[in-house]
């Protein structure tokens, strides 16, 4: 996951001095559960889930093996057990919704054995998946906040799905304000095709559903405005493509800035690539 604020925490995370478990979870530490600072995350948030939280579901965890940060605002804490805890705070709920939709598509493209809706307490939407080698995963969204939990295929938990949804629910409760209010704007792209009459065929890349779309017998002039999610630093740039057969010209505007325009007198074909 990725975004304006992102935490990826693999494994658990600090030992709890207090008991607890199940739906209630461990007692909060002195000073309360770590919260984002100015919308930004830091290493303190590795303490959002504790070993006792996992142990309540019969899932023991080892010590953190490594921590690393990555752009734009992410943290990774990992153990050798392949367990994972992720938190992502996007600038808008719409951006977060698009990212969750992307995660569902990617899980299916990776050949996940199952992808289904879940019931994480307090979430606007949540999904579970079983992926390669039997790894179980849940991710949940509340507003602009996305939470994900992965459990190793070797988890001894009696009910791994109850563990996943319960732990994700704990994170949502421990971040009571995160994601409830948009802190920025959703990025957008606008396609335009000029001229009069009708274009027999128009093809463009739908950045919301991340798929090509073909329209026929389109009335000109034509405009389509869509949201888009920028790629992670290691992903290829976002693609914007428009071909309008029979149009007088075309243009692509991303975030209010023109990024492509067809050559006068040439075919109405526009293409652009944008990174973060």
- Judge whether 231 lies within some domain: yes
- Into how many domains does the chain fold? 2
The parent domain of residue 203 ranges over: 188-274
Last residue of a domain, one of 128, 144, 174: 174
**157 part of a folded domain:** yes
**Structural domain contains residue 14:** yes
Last residue of some domain: 140, 174, 208? Answer: 174
The CATH number of residue 197's host domain is 2.60.40.2880
* Inside any domain, residue 33: yes
Q: What is the mean pLDDT of the chain?
A: 84
Residue 179 lies in a domain: no
**Structural domain contains residue 182:** no
Which pLDDT tens digit goes with each residue over 132-144?
778 899 999 999 9
Residues 193 and 266 in one domain: yes
Quick one: 201 and 165 in the same domain?
A: no
Q: Are residues 67 and 162 in the same domain?
A: yes
Q: Do 55 and 120 sit in the same domain of this protein?
A: yes
83 and 110 assigned to the same domain: yes
Q: What is the pLDDT of residue 79?
A: 67
Token pair of 152 as six digits: 């190793």
Q: Could you tell me which residues are beta bridge partners of residue 242?
A: 204, 270
Nearest residue to 87 via CA among 155, 176, 175, 186:
175
Rounded to whole angstroms, what are the CA distances from 68 to 8, 64, 72? 10, 11, 13
* pLDDT one-digit tens code per residue, 216-251: 999 999 999 999 987 765 566 788 999 999 999 999
Supply the pTM of this predicted model: 0.84
Listed in sequence order, the residues at least 6 apart from 249 whose beta carbon sits closer than 8 Å to its beta carbon are 193, 194, 195, 261, 262, 264, 268
């Amino acid at each position: 996951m990725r975004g304006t604020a992102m935490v990826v925490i693999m494994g658990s995370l600090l030992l709890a001095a207090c008991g607890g478990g199940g739906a209630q979870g461990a007692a909060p530490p002195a000073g309360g559960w770590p919260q984002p600072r100015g919308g930004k995350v830091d290493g303190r948030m590795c303490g959002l889930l504790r070993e006792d939280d996992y142990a309540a579901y019969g899932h023991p965890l080892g010590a953190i093996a490594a921590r690393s940060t990555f752009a734009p605002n992410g943290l990774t804490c990992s153990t050798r057990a392949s367990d994972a805890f992720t938190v992502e705070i996007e600038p808008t709920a719409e951006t977060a919704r698009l990212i969750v939709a992307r995660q569902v598509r990617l899980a299916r493209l990776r050949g996940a054995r199952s992808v289904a809706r879940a019931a994480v307490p307090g979430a606007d939407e949540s999904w579970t998946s079983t992926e390669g080698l039997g790894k179980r995963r849940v991710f949940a969204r509340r507003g602009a906040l996305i939470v994900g939990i992965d459990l190793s295929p070797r988890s001894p938990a009696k009910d791994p799905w109850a563990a996943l949804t319960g732990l994700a629910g704990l994170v949502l409760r421990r971040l009571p304000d995160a994601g409830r209010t948009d802190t920025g704007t959703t990025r957008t792209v606008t396609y335009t095709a000029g001229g009069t009459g009708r274009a027999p065929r128009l093809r463009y890349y739908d950045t919301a559903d991340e798929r090509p779309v073909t329209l026929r017998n389109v009335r000109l002039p034509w405009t389509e405005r869509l949201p888009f999610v920028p790629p992670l630093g290691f992903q290829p740039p976002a693609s914007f493509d428009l071909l309008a057969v029979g149009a007088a010209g075309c243009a692509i505007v991303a975030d209010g800035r023109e990024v492509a325009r067809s050559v006068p007198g040439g075919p109405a074909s526009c293409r652009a690539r944008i990174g973060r």
